[in-house]
Amino acid sequence: MLLDTRRAWAGMLLAGMTLTCQQAQAVTPACLTHQAAAGDTLIGLSRQHLMPSARWQELARLNRIANPRRIPIGTRLCLPLDLLRGNAVPARVLTVVGEAQLASSAQALQAGDTLSEQSQVRTGQHGYVSIELADGSILQVQPETQVRLDQTQAHESVGLLRATWELVRGRVTSWVRPQPEPKPRHQVRTPQAVLAVRGTEFRVQVTDQLTRAETLSGKVAIDTKANTQQVLSAEQGMLIDGRTARPQPSRLPAAPDIGDGVRHFERPVVKLDARAVPGAQGYRFQVASDPRFQQMLLEARTTEPVLRTAALPDGDFHWRVRAQDAQGMEGLDAVGRLHLNARPEPPIPTAPGNDGRLRSDTLELSWTQHPEGTAYRLQLARDASFSAPLLIDETLPGNQVSRPWRPGRYHWRLATVQRGPDGQPDTGPWGDARPIDLRAAPAELPSPRLTQEALFFQPPIEPGQTVRLQVARDASFGLVVLDETHRELPIRMARPQAGGRLYVRYQATDPDGFVGPLSAVQTLELPSCVETGHGGCVQSAAGPLTTR
């Protein structure tokens, strides 16, 4: 059972107890200071607060009390912390993300598991564990970390919890619930130092025979293996190698500027960025589903203050980024929120092409089919902002639409509709708007002017256009007798003396290079004629002489 901290703290305050560090000799132990009340005796206090093996005579010696049964009211007594009666209380696993296990049994950790003293937690490459102590303090174990819970003792008679973690390798972030006593009772031990706190947020990293300590709030007392004591204030860091006589604190990098407000994304690729921090050598990005970053979804280190990822599902998330200096110290966090609504993804338009130009009296649009799509929403407007009135705003079952439409410049966009978890239609985000330049369809080709030697074609083109004219003996244009492109009209074609049926079509190209569709195929019945000696037709008052 976890300690009821509110009841315990209330009991401690009622007893008038505080922690203090005696200023007499260096050998004097850390104490819980008790102000004597009426009826207090050393024997009674010893039975109430100290371990069974502790003797009241030790209290008499430390406090220089001659008569253990008569203590003046108001006397401040030292109760040694190391002699306080305590019970081992388990820690509780709050959250587990990815691979995490108990090192002793290789048993996978799960939320709700309890950890007793000497339990050792090991995380994998993408593993995160949040562990809560009995007083509400939390240790967040980061990926590729090994940490052991050495001690977690609850001294319920005085409302005090003492906890010691040993960080073997990797990274942890600790949030220790503020405590009213001045003496730190939470510790993180590393191969190079002991970090003690009583109410703060700090990070510790062990790597390459080094300990990096980063204090985010409050203060951290550091005892190094070189027998030096330091105090690390908020927004300070320290690199400890165990050999330097007195390592010096340094200021942590400032939080990057990420601006204000929630960032919204409607595409699977999310881009998170910040302004560069002067002197930064890298950045660490983290994304979680909760504001305390216990349910971590993504973590990445980058050389520039920008992260691109397509690994997030749709939803609302919290993200943060911090800079790293040349010593590997990580600074203060810039924290933001993001909203991702990218699914179902919009279909990909297939027609018309990217230029959107179309010569037709019919609006013809098509797109790919989404594997989970049940329908598609189409909008057509005259402006790219799709402000009212919309010309089309419909949900269509298929992946194409064809309907008569007047020429003009338009914009269109699509969204996929799928069946949601509740069985109701779920419409995804809009795709990128596409332009349409719908131009008039090619007009019908007038009949050519016919002479004894030639045919003269006058396609109905617009100023600046060029025109391609094709004439063939068959409807499939396999037997082409003319295929020419001209800027000037009319187009002259030598008259076939054999006459017969000809198939004719044309294609206009706009000044901007857009090649329109081929016109409808038209047929021309051309009579044969009596040839002259020069290959022309014999003329009469009624025109060329034809054969029958």
| Cβ proximity of 79 and 15 under 8 Å | no
H or E, element range at 61:
helix 56-63
| CA 186 to chain CA centroid, nearest Å | 34
DSSP state of 355: T
Predicted confidence at residue 26, as pLDDT, reads 36
* Max CA distance (Å), the chain: 155
| Cβ proximity of 160 and 186 under 8 Å | no
- In angstroms, the CA 160 to CA 134 distance is 10
- In angstroms, the CA 368 to CA 398 distance is 10
Predicted confidence at residue 355, as pLDDT, reads 81
Please report, in angstroms and rounded to a whole number, the separation of the first and last CA atoms in the chain.
115
H or E, element range at 6:
helix 5-15
Phi-psi region of 309 (alpha: psi -120 to 50; beta: other; left: phi over 0): beta
Predicted confidence at residue 434, as pLDDT, reads 95
| CA 231 to chain CA centroid, nearest Å | 36
**How do strand 186-189 and strand 193-197 relate by DSSP bridges?**
antiparallel
Peptide bond into 527 cis (omega under 30): no
| Tokens 């030598």, located at residue | 494
Contacts 24+ apart (CB under 8 A), 198-204: 200/174, 200/175, 200/176, 200/234, 201/173, 201/174, 201/175, 201/176, 202/173, 202/174, 202/232, 203/171, 203/172, 203/173, 203/174, 203/330, 204/167, 204/171, 204/172, 204/174
DSSP state of 81: G
Q: Could you give the domains of the chain?
A: 31-80 (3.10.350.10), 87-251 (2.60.120.1440), 262-340 (2.60.40.10), 349-439 (2.60.40.10), 449-531 (2.60.40)
pLDDT in tens, 277-300: 999 999 999 999 999 999 999 999
- In angstroms, the CA 465 to CA 38 distance is 111
Positions in the chain short of pLDDT 50: 1-28, 540-548
- In angstroms, the CA 96 to CA 141 distance is 10
250 phi/psi in degrees, rounded to 5: -135, 155
pLDDT in tens, 39-62: 999 888 888 888 887 788 888 888
What's this model's pTM, rounded to 2 decimal places?
Answer: 0.76
- In angstroms, the CA 401 to CA 333 distance is 51
| CA 210 to chain CA centroid, nearest Å | 31
